Amino acid sequence: MEHFIFALQVQFRGLLQMILVLGIGGSFPYGFHISVINYPSHIRKFINETWIDRHGSPLHPETVMLLWSFIVSVYGIGGFLGSLCCGPFSLPRKKCQMFTNLIMLVAALFMALSKTAKSFEMILVGRFLYGIGSGFSLNIHPQYVGEISPKKLRGFTNSTVAVFLTLGKLTGQVVGLRCLLLYCKIKCIQMFTLFTVR
């Protein structure tokens, strides 16, 4: 009996580790990239500085806003295309999940090197690639998690997709808070007092 219980613990430990790895590489980035770019000041400043370096004059504020809007919305376009391409893709789900992580690594390189290359277009391409990877991953992740889990735990494992998506959104919002950068200490205090009991 003890051997059976130990075998179940080992099986469930492996399953939980797989759920954690798939969640971090699957639905977590989708939630993160939806909410992380909500604060436009840094991106708009970078677009304007890049334009001044190239052409010697600043962009009109409406043009900067338009470019920032493209950067934000191209993620959704990439997600749409990634979701459409997911069906006819012929790789098995495990390899497809690894392929989406490769796409996201390339997107991360574009985003990381954009400041060095002084190119806001690289941010646009990076967000588009993140969208494609997220569209792929959001379709493949629940299917793969459902396939690898035992039948009696299939509902639990499939619900972890939504949990990691929500954790990604929460992390994106927390990372984007200006209060963490100590710019506005008063807003932090106001936010704290909203949750205190009187």
Give me the CATH code for the 2-194 domain, please. Answer: 1.20.1250.20
pLDDT of residue 107: 92
Residue 118 has pLDDT above 80, yes or no: yes
Q: Look at residues 82, 65, 70, 89 and name the one whose alpha carbon lies nearest to residue 29.
A: 82
Q: Look at residues 41, 22, 24, 20 and name the one whose alpha carbon lies nearest to residue 32.
A: 24
Residue 93 has pLDDT above 80, yes or no: no
Structure tokens at 189: 């205090």
Residue 196 has pLDDT above 80, yes or no: no
- End-to-end, the C-alpha distance of the chain in Å comes to 53
Domain boundaries of the chain, sorted by first residue? 2-194
At 157, is the pLDDT very low, low, confident or very high (cuts 50, 70, 90)? confident
Lowest average pLDDT, out of 14-18, 103-107, 173-177, goes to 173-177
Q: Look at residues 41, 74, 20, 33 and name the one whose alpha carbon lies nearest to residue 172.
A: 33
